[in-house]
């Protein structure tokens, strides 16, 4: 089982929203949130796979499709999507929000 591949199934809405999020995350200073360089391999592989599998990311009406997919996913979450905590552990600040901003020169 050590060399077995893992298959993840996503709906088209999930794939579109995740693809957009991964793209935005990759364009930020990920060093603030990615604490282990090994995480880059699956991040890039997942993003590349989504880029190939989600033709909507190249559609002229991409923004409208993305907004509609986000809306449908939020609606499917019900109260779960509306009441998420600001930090992973109650009473503790989220580490990403406390990281200093860095400029690239």
User: Would the pLDDT of 30 be above 70?
Assistant: no
Task: Tell me the CB-side half-sphere exposure of residue 64, using CA atoms within 13 A.
Answer: 3
User: Would the pLDDT of 102 be above 60?
Assistant: no
| Stretch among 49-53, 81-85, 90-94 having the lowest mean pLDDT | 90-94
User: Would the pLDDT of 84 be above 90?
Assistant: no
Q: Alpha-carbon distance 33 to 14, whole Å?
A: 22
How much is the average pLDDT of 6-11? Answer: 93
34-55 confidence digits (pLDDT tens): 788 898 889 889 999 999 999 9
Determine the pLDDT at residue 49.
Answer: 94
How much is the average pLDDT of 51-66? Answer: 94
The secondary structure of the chain, three-state, reads: CCCCCCCCCCCHHHHHHHHHHHHHHHCCCHHHCCCCHHHHHHHHHHHHHHHHHCHHHHCCCHHHHHHHHHHHHHHHHHHHHCCCCCCCCCCCCCHHHHCCCCCCC
């Amino acid at each position: 089982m050590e060399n077995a591949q893992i298959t993840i199934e996503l709906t088209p809405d999930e794939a579109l929203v995740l693809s957009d999020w991964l793209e935005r995350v990759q364009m930020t200073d990920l060093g603030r949130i990615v604490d282990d360089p090994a995480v880059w391999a699956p991040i890039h592989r997942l993003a590349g796979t989504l880029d190939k599998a989600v033709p909507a990311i190249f559609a002229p009406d991409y923004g409208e499709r993305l907004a509609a997919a986000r809306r449908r996913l939020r609606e499917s979450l019900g109260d779960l999507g509306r009441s998420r905590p600001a930090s992973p552990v109650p009473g503790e600040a989220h580490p990403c929000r406390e990281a200093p901003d860095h400029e690239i020169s």
